[in-house]
Each structure stands twice: as structure tokens, then as C-alpha cells.
Amino acid sequence: MKRSKPTALNICIYTLLIILALLQIFPFYFTIIRSFQPESFFERATELKFLPESWNFENYPEAWRRARLGRGYLNSLFYVSVFTFISAMIAMMVGYVLAKKEFRGKNFVFLMFLSTLMVPYETLLIPNFLMARDLYLTDKLAGLIIPGLVSIMGIFIAKQFMETIPDSIVESSVLDGAGEFQIFYKIIMPMSKPALATYCILTFTDKWNEYIWPLIILNEPSKFPVQLSLLYFVDRHATGDYLATLQQAAIISTLLPVVIIYFIFQKKFVEGISITGLK
Amino acid sequence: MAAFKKKYKNEIVAYSLLAYPLLHWGVFFVIQFFRAFGLSFTDWDIFSEANFVGFSNYTTILFKDEVFRIALINTVLWALAMAVGPLVIGFLVALMVNHISKGSVFFRTLLYWPALISKVVFTSIQERIFSSSPYGLINRLLGLFGVDAVAWFDNPDIALPSLMLWPFLMGFSFPMLFFLAGLKQIPKTFYEAAEVDGAKKSTILFKITLPLMKPIIFLNLILGMTGTFSLTEGFRALAPMQLITKGGPIHATYSVVYKIYTDGFDKYQMGYASAMSFILFAIILIMTIIQFKIQGEQVSYE
């Protein structure tokens, strides 16, 4: 059943895939090339540059300084990590209760949580902003963390996964005299690592990339996450002051954490998709 | 008391663990939902007292607001395009990646990772590719062949299709991964049996792969339980309009969510914008119910 012969079909497929991959890669390639050009760099209209004229590494520190990317990095790393950790703990706990406990109203609670998914996030932008204002969460990193801490997606992933853990394991540890939290931390959590990893990776990248909510509740530049730091260049662009090379340098800088996480955990990503969707 | 504790032992444990999540969810979801609904019947603008105005926000939006009408048409077109393009291309790419024996992990990795970049980065790259000046990437390519620069986003007649083109072609990464996961679940024996019977490649595709993928397609893509990708996703388009065109030129690229955003957070018409949010909610809800109804039978046979 090995199909390694170079059939016409295979050649077509490889050609198409290579074209698609190049289409995906080229914009990034040009972004990288451009990020090293001198600031005065100006291309002629009918030219495509595949290599930089010179390697201006100083674009990077300059971009970081202008857009306060260092601050943005610290803010993002802090709030994204805290959010991911706390929301993961909540999701695992709720998932555990819904998957492994028998109690009245269980299905009702689960259905109520699920119904949340029907309501688009954008419908709640305005009241959530008002809520954040009432609780004095605007212009604070806490405002980026607190509102979404109960993640329905996380609960769903955790519950689906924990239902595959045999009840007998939980029951036998109850007989051994293990307490509620012992069961959760010593048995359920270690066994649910794939679900936990999936949720954390998805949430980390999602939060790292988020810009709408920060844009709504933050005015103070010292609190900006990286995506808002990037918008500095978009705003400058709108006023006619186009810092193209610096913008490219900043863009490349912000991709780093997500790229690292993806290439380390890329197998987990694929597993995660199967866990969230197919079980 | 002891008897009560014994009888409701499970409930006490369960609800004490669920207490905080339920409270948090109640405060940040349930209350906010009804608050927005209440606001949608007022003329509140943050600065002055809110007045109850009945259904007038809704009637104004639906029958008098010209920009909303454009935004709604744009949004429906956008949603249709984003449902078809990424889905079809994603499925075809998944079939191809699944078919090849060498390098399938390589292509999967390469083709999926653009799904991880932020909207801010995606749109600034998109803007550079389609920039109307002769320095935009595509205009420069056209220039090599002596074709005049096209005004992509600056021409109201073609601004929306131009804005759609890149996400339409390049948005396949996430659906592709979903489909790949689904294709992997089809037992190999099905294909082996078909090959023994001498079935053609096209027959295998239409008689085995597609029918077996149906539940996966419907469950994961259409119902979109995790909210990461679904057919209703296109109704929530915001970033390209907000970050590239600002809804222009002459409102040509407004979307419903961008209209909610500008009316709410730029003009502070909180009541009016809330009413629009609920119209959006109603549209998405109706779409979802229709999908459930139509696809109900297919889903059940998994």
C-alpha cells in the first residue's frame, strides 16, 4: 500500500502544496527582509527585492524603543500567563465536577454554560466595558485578566476529556481514603495532561494575539500589551508618518513567543484539535 | 441536619466547587447579557441620563440607518465568502496533505502556522500586499508585466472584494487541521477494501471519504463548538475593517461589528450600539438553529 511512485497525481499535489506554502511564506519573508532595510529605504515601483541592501540590525532596538515593545512584552507575558494559568485551573475543576460527579442539576449547569457559546463575544462588548468601568478595571492589567476567567471552551475540553477516565480509578481512590482535592490533584490532573496542554496552548496564543478588548479598556500606554504596541505604527501610518521598516521589525519581534510555542508543541496542537473536536 | 447532609452529600460537594465559577459567570455573562438587552431600549450615551425609547433603536437600525444596511449586506457577503473559501480550500488541502506519503508533517506544520498570527499582524501584512500605491506587493508584480497599479482598498467599488481576497485564499489553515484530524479517523481497511475491489480514486473520494467525513464536517465546522472556526464566524468580521480601511472608502467596507464598535466606543451611543449587538445575536442564533435543524440527522449517525 506504499504510494511512493512519482505518479502524475503526486506531482500535481506536491506542486500545489509548494505553491500554497510559498504563498503563505512570502509575505513573511518580505517582512523580514524589509525589517533590515535602512529607514530611508525606498524601492522603485517595478522592483521586487529578494535580499536586503544592507543589514540594519539597529532597526530592532529602534522599533522596540518607539513602540515601547519592551513594556508591551512584559505586560503581555504577565497577563497572558496569569490568565492562562487561572482559567485553566477553573476549567479543569469545573470539567472534573461535570464529568465525574453525580448531582442534581448537573445537566442543567452544563447546558447553561454551553448556551453561552451561542452568544457572540461582540454582543457583550458594551456591557463588559461598562462592567469593567464600574469595577475600576479600566487601564489595569487586571481588566484584561478577570472578565474571561471562566472559559466555556476550557470547561468543554476538560469535561470531554475527563469522561474518558474510568470511574473505577476515582472510586478505588475514594476507598483508599483520598480526599476530594487529593483525587483532583493526584489522579485527575496528571491523567488530563493532554487536555490541559491543549487548553493552555490555545489560550496562550489566543490571548497573546488579542487586541479588541485591550483596545477598549486601555488608554494608558504603559499598560499596553504587544498587539497595542504594534498598533502604534498603524496609527502613525494613518497620520502619514510611515515607519515601514520599523513596523516590520516590530511585527517580527512579536511573533516570536507564538512561533516558539507552536514549534515545540506542534504535535500537541494536532492532538488538541482531535480532543476538542472529535471525541 | 445530619440527614440533610447525608441526602445531599453529592450536591454540597459539587456546588461548593462550582460556586465561584458560577458566580463569576453570572456576573460577567448572565448579568451583562441582560444589561445589554435593557440598554438596547434606551438612548444612553454615557454622559446623560438614559431614557427609555421602546423599540425605536431597533426600527431606526433596521429601516433608516443607511450605513447599517451597507454593513449588513457586507457582513452577509463576508460570511458567505469565509464559509466557502477556507472550507473548500481547507478540505482540498487536507486531502492532499493526507494523500502524500513523504513530507505530510512538513506541509501540515508550514500551512497551519499562519493561523497563529494575530489579526494585527495579519492585517498589516495584507495591507502591504494590497497597498494601492505602486509599492504594494501585488501592484509591483503587476508593474513587472506593465499593468497599471490597481487601487484595491481605495476604490469603493472593489474595496470589499479586495479586502476579502487574502483571508478567502489564506484562511484555510484551521479548517485544514480539523479535516486532517477527521481523515485520520477513517479506518484504513475501508480504503484497502475499496482498492481490492478496484475502485477508482474519484469513487473512493465520493463514496467513502466524503460520506464518512460528513459528521466531522457538520459537528466541528458548522456547529463550531469551540468557537474557533464556524460558519457564523464570518458574521463577526471586524479586524480588516477596523485596522485597514476604517470602514471606508465612503462606508464601502463597514461590517456590522465595526459599526457596533464605532457607534459604541467612538460615538458613545451605547443604547443604539447595544440594539445592534442584539440584531447581530439574533442573526447568528437563527443561523445556528437552521444549521442544527438541517444537519440534525447526519450528526446523529456518528
pLDDT mean over B280-297? 76
- Choose the CATH number for A68-225+256-278 among 1.20.1250.20, 3.40.50.720, 1.10.3720.10, 3.30.70.120: 1.10.3720.10
Q: What is the pLDDT of residue B220?
A: 55
- Choose among A24, A90, A209: nearest Cβ to B111: A24
At B54 the three-state DSSP class reads: coil
**Residue among A17, A50, A248 with most chain B CBs within 10 A, to mutate:** A17
Distance from CA of B144 to the nearest CA of A (A): 6
CB contact under 8 A, B257 and A131: no
Chain A hits for B264, Cβ within 8 Å: 125-126, 129
Chain A hits for B93, Cβ within 8 Å: 17, 20
The 10 Å Cβ neighbour count of residue B249 is 15
CB contact under 8 A, B181 and A278: yes
Distance from CA of B160 to the nearest CA of A (A): 19
Dihedral over Cα of B88, A271, A17, B204: its sign:
negative
Look up residue B177 and give its three cell numbers: 487541521
- From the list B230, B214, B205, the residue with the least C-alpha distance to B288 is B230
A174 touches chain B (CB under 8 A): no
At B229 the three-state DSSP class reads: coil
Chain B hits for A238, Cβ within 8 Å: 246
**Residue among A20, A43, A212 with most chain B CBs within 10 A, to mutate:** A20
CB contact under 8 A, A101 and B21: no
A10 touches chain B (CB under 8 A): yes
Chain B hits for A120, Cβ within 8 Å: 232, 235-236, 280-281, 284
- Average per-residue pLDDT in chain B? 82
**Residue among B7, B116, B123, B144 with most chain A CBs within 10 A, to mutate:** B116
CB contact under 8 A, A209 and B119: yes
A126 touches chain B (CB under 8 A): yes
Distance CA A165, CA A106 (A): 18
**Residue among B7, B9, B18 with most chain A CBs within 10 A, to mutate:** B18
- From the list A46, A8, A52, the residue with the least C-alpha distance to A29 is A52
Give the nearest chain B residue to A44 (CA atoms). B135
What ipTM does this complex have?
0.84
pLDDT at B225 over 80: no
CB contact under 8 A, B124 and A157: no
- Choose the CATH number for B56-296 among 3.40.50.10700, 3.40.50.720, 1.10.3720.10, 1.10.150.450: 1.10.3720.10
Place of cell 454593513: B71
Q: What is the pLDDT of residue A149?
A: 92
Chain B hits for A157, Cβ within 8 Å: 226
Distance CA A214, CA A220 (A): 11
Chain B hits for A117, Cβ within 8 Å: 225, 227
Q: What is the pLDDT of residue A242?
A: 66
pLDDT mean over A100-106? 87
Chain B hits for A96, Cβ within 8 Å: 17
pLDDT at A205 over 80: yes
Distance from CA of B6 to the nearest CA of A (A): 13
Which stretch of A250-264, B97-111, B175-189 has the lowest confidence by average pLDDT? Answer: B175-189
Give the nearest chain B residue to A229 (CA atoms). B120
SS (H, E, C) chain A: CCCCCCCHHHHHHHHHHHHHHHHHHHHHHHHHHHHCCCCCCCCCCCCCCCCCCCCCCCHHHHHHHHCCHHHHHHHHHHHHHHHHHHHHHHHHHHHHHHHHCCCCCHHHHHHHHHHHHHCCHHHHHHHHHHHHHHCCCCCCCHHHHCCCCCCHHHHHHHHHHHCCCCHHHHHHHHHCCCCHHHHHHHHHHHHCHHHHHHHHHHHHHHHHHCCHHHHHHCCCHHHCCHHHHHHHHHHHHHCCCCCHHHHHHHHHHHHHHHHHHHHHHHHHHHHHHHHHHHC
- From the list A265, A270, A260, A201, the residue with the least C-alpha distance to B176 is A270
Look up residue B282 and give its three cell numbers: 439574533
CB contact under 8 A, A119 and B281: yes
Asked if A217 contacts A131 with a C-beta cutoff of 8 angstroms, the reply is no
pLDDT at B295 over 80: no
pLDDT in tens, A128-148: 998 898 889 989 999 999 988
- From the list A86, A197, A93, the residue with the least C-alpha distance to A142 is A86
pLDDT in tens, A146-187: 988 999 888 988 888 888 888 888 888 888 877 878 888 888
Residue A219 burial by CB count (10 A; 0-12/13-18/19+): exposed, middle or buried?
exposed
At B34 the three-state DSSP class reads: helix
| Extents of the domains making up chain A | 68-225+256-278
CB contact under 8 A, B260 and A125: yes
Q: What is the pLDDT of residue A9?
A: 83
Residue A256 burial by CB count (10 A; 0-12/13-18/19+): exposed, middle or buried?
exposed
